[in-house]
């Protein structure tokens, strides 16, 4: 029976009842006189002068009793209550019985209030007074009420993958000749940033110890940039079925590297390349009033990791290798959104996706040497690892000949029912992937060609699990994420490490170059056999905790005023590699190595001047840690001095203009 209470028919009847006063009022001046015995007569205005409104339609009340929604005593208490009070009482009953959710009840209450206002303006002549002389023309020409928010919203977590499905015909935008609608959006972001330690010269915080040293000082740097600017558009396509909604999105930004062309060599610092972020289409099918099945294809955020993120002002690296786990990747995704109802508006969504298998590995640089004929001179050419990676399309994942699989499950509910508070979420996400290195026969070291005459294929697997929560309330919003797995480099985890060649027990080792220029190690085992070293993934772990405070809401600022947009965030993030795997990967011995762990501690302040202009300031501490050598001393350096810790204090400020 409870499932029937949630029937859309009951909800539609309730909506019709709420809107009836406005419909009847509009009909008074143009339609023929209503039959006094009809339901319209029962909804006639109260002429006693005590209140303006309508008595609840008794036919509707009787129907709700007949269907088992209301009891007879509840119906009797409603029939003689007039105006908005009666409708409020009905909505409370329907919400208590689970027929409508808290959100739906609030929307219906607002609609009823609008209807009563219109009714009183047109029909108040029955109650006398100066307003009795108002005509329909005067009502229509009444100056519109100022628009704008009526409450300052609470802190909303960053959710790049929203759970709620799109609403059919719910997108406001430009209608094209084909019938599709397009809604452009984006922002212009300009920031200045100071880093107290910046050995690589980048305008974003990279993990420490990725450069040999910083020079005689910590090499502080000051940058200014506009390349975080983003442009995109959402789409909606028409369909003959009322239960099918087709949407899509395209988005890009200028965070890519500078163009490397002759006419830009002097001005490359401002010639940022526009690059693709998102490009996908989605089909939603409402199979039942409470069930939505969707299919998505294209490039979107990964469902592993990206489901819970820190809200940082620095978005170029966006907490990469500091506890923010995320990616965007080509994919095909299938999921279900099931409304469970209840007073907390529970929803559950399981999803499954196949993704482009990606590793993000940086192949080692190599030197190719050629001895010239007739003399002993030798010409050597350095093959850069990154150039090789791009040239070969980062093929390790694709060479595994199988897709990466990802999945997640999200439970959503309304933790705080106050106005302006978004739902809370508890979620799990995971992934499993494989990679392959291929060594051609011609690249097998000479001592091992007889054992491997056709070459070698070697594999390793990556996997991960994430647990996350986001708990918005009117006072504060807490978001937390924890993850662990192996070969997390592509997702910006595991301190940039992917896999290593496990050479323990091998002698007479020699490197063979794989087709993407990475290295596969050959050797002789204890039994005297020629083998290649197995490749194992580097395990990693991390996560973050962030608390956001809606300062303006605390102090009851005017929602439409200049002080309505003050927010503060405090966050701590951690990313680390497994110590044993790190030592094997880096071959820690005589020399130390890093980074094995990185942490971020940050405070962020946002001020919204109006709905389109926001200012941000972020003060952050990025710390990286190295592993000492066998001697117990660190050989990694900062400012020419051996140290185990690298610390960058970063200050960033600037405006964001949204459209």
Q: How far is CA 466 from the centre of its chain?
A: 14
Count of residues in the chain: 659
Burial of residue 134 (CB within 10 Å: 0-12, 13-18, 19+) is middle
DSSP letter (8 states) at residue 148? S
How many angstroms separate the CA atoms of 204 and 255, rounded?
11
Give the CA angle between residues 138, 142, 146 to the nearest 5°. Answer: 175
Q: What pLDDT, on the 0 to 100 scale, is given for residue 267?
A: 83
How many angstroms separate the CA atoms of 658 and 188, rounded?
6
Q: How far is CA 446 from the centre of its chain?
A: 50
Q: Profile the chain (659 residues) by mean pLDDT over runs of 10 residues.
A: 42 44 39 36 36 58 71 69 67 71 67 46 34 41 61 95 92 90 97 96 92 92 96 96 96 85 81 93 96 98 96 96 97 98 97 94 63 51 62 83 97 96 98 95 95 96 98 98 97 95 93 88 95 96 98 95 96 97 87 93 97 97 94 91 96 97
Q: What pLDDT, on the 0 to 100 scale, is given for residue 150?
A: 85
Q: What pLDDT, on the 0 to 100 scale, is given for residue 55?
A: 54
Q: What pLDDT, on the 0 to 100 scale, is given for residue 67?
A: 67
3-state secondary structure 82-142: EHHHHHHHHHHHHHHCCCCCHHHHHHHHHHHHHHHHHHHHHHHHHHCCHHHHCCHHHHHCC
Whether this prediction's pTM lies above 0.95 is answered by no
Q: What pLDDT, on the 0 to 100 scale, is given for residue 535?
A: 95
DSSP letter (8 states) at residue 268? G
Residue 145 main-chain phi, psi, to 5 deg:
-70, 145
Rg value, the chain, Cα: 32
Tell me if 316 sits within 8 A of 269, measured CB to CB: no
DSSP letter (8 states) at residue 159? -
Query: Residue 252's beta-bridge partner residues?
Result: 231, 276
Tell me if 229 sits within 8 A of 186, measured CB to CB: yes
- Distance between terminal CA atoms of the chain? 47
How many angstroms separate the CA atoms of 277 and 644, rounded?
36
* 3 state DSSP class of 158: strand
Strands (E), 147-290: 174-175, 181-189, 191-195, 221-225, 230-237, 244-253, 275-288
Q: What pLDDT, on the 0 to 100 scale, is given for residue 83?
A: 56
Domains of the chain: which residue ranges?
2-140, 162-190+226-279
565-577 and 424-439 beta bridge pairing: unpaired
């Amino acid at each position: 029976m409870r499932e029937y209470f949630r029937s859309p028919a009951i909800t539609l009847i309730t909506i019709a009842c709420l809107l009836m006063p406005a419909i009847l009022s509009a009909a008074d001046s143009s339609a023929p006189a209503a039959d006094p015995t009809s339901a319209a007569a029962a909804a006639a205005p109260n002429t006693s002068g005590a209140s303006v409104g309508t008595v609840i339609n008794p036919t509707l009340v009787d129907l709700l009793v007949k269907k088992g929604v209301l009891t007879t005593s509840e119906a009797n208490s409603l029939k003689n209550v007039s105006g908005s009070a009666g409708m409020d009482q009905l909505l409370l009953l329907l919400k208590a019985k689970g027929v409508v959710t808290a959100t739906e009840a609030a929307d219906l209450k607002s609609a009823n209030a609008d209807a009563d206002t219109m009714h009183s303006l047109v029909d108040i002549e029955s109650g006398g007074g100066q307003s009795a002389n108002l005509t329909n023309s005067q009502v229509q020409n009444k100056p519109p009420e100022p628009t704008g928010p009526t409450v300052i919203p609470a802190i909303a977590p960053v959710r790049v993958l929203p759970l709620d499905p799109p609403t059919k015909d719910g997108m406001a935008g430009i209608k094209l000749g084909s019938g599709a609608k397009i809604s452009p959006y984006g922002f212009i972001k300009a920031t200045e940033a100071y880093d107290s330690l910046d050995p690589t010269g980048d305008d974003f915080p990279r993990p420490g110890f990725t450069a040999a040293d910083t020079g005689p000082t910590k090499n502080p740097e000051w940058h200014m940039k506009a390349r975080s600017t983003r442009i995109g558009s959402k789409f909606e396509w028409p369909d003959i079925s009322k239960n099918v909604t087709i949407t899509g999105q395209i988005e890009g930004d200028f965070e890519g590297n500078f163009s490397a062309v002759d006419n830009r060599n002097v001005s490359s610092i401002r010639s940022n390349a526009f690059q693709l972020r998102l490009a996908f289409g989605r089909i939603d099918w409402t199979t039942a009033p409470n069930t939505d099945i969707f299919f998505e294809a294209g490039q979107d955020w990964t469902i592993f990791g990206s489901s819970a993120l820190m809200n940082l002002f620095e978005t170029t690296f966006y907490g990469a290798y500091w506890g923010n786990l995320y990616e965007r990747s080509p994919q095909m995704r299938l999921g279900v959104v099931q409304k469970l109802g209840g007073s907390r508006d529970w929803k559950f969504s399981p999803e499954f996706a196949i993704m482009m298998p990606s590793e993000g590995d940086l192949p080692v640089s190599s030197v190719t040497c050629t001895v010239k004929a007739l003399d002993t001179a030798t010409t050597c050419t350095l093959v850069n690892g990154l150039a090789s990676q791009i040239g070969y399309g980062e093929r390790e994942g694709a060479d595994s000949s199988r897709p990466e699989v990802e999945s997640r499950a999200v439970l959503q509910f309304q933790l705080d029912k106050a106005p302006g508070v978004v739902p809370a979420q508890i979620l799990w996400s995971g992934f499993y992937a494989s990679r392959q290195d291929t060594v051609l026969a011609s690249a097998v070291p000479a001592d091992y060609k007889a054992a491997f005459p056709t070459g070698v294929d070697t594999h390793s697997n990556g996997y991960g699990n994430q647990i996350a929560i986001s708990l918005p309330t009117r006072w504060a919003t807490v978001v937390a994420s924890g993850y662990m797995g192996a070969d997390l480099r592509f997702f910006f985890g595991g301190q940039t490490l992917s896999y290593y060649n496990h050479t323990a027990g091998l002698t007479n080792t020699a490197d063979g170059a794989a087709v993407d220029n990475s290295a596969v190690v050959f050797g002789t085992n204890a039994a005297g056999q020629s083998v290649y070293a197995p490749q194992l993934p580097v395990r990693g772990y991390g996560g973050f905790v962030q608390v956001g405070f809606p300062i303006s809401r605390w102090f009851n600022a005017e929602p439409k005023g200049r002080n309505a947009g003050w927010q503060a965030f405090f966050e701590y993030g951690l990313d680390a590699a497994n110590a044993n795997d790190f030592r094997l990967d880096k071959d820690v011995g005589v020399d130390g190595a890093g980074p094995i762990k990185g942490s971020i501690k940050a405070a962020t302040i946002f001020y919204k001047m109006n709905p389109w202009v926001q200012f941000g300031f972020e003060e952050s501490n990025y710390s990286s840690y190295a592993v000492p050598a066998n001697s117990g001393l660190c050989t990694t350096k900062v400012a020419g001095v051996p140290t185990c810790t690298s610390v960058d204090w970063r200050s960033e400020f600037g405006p964001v203009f949204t459209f």
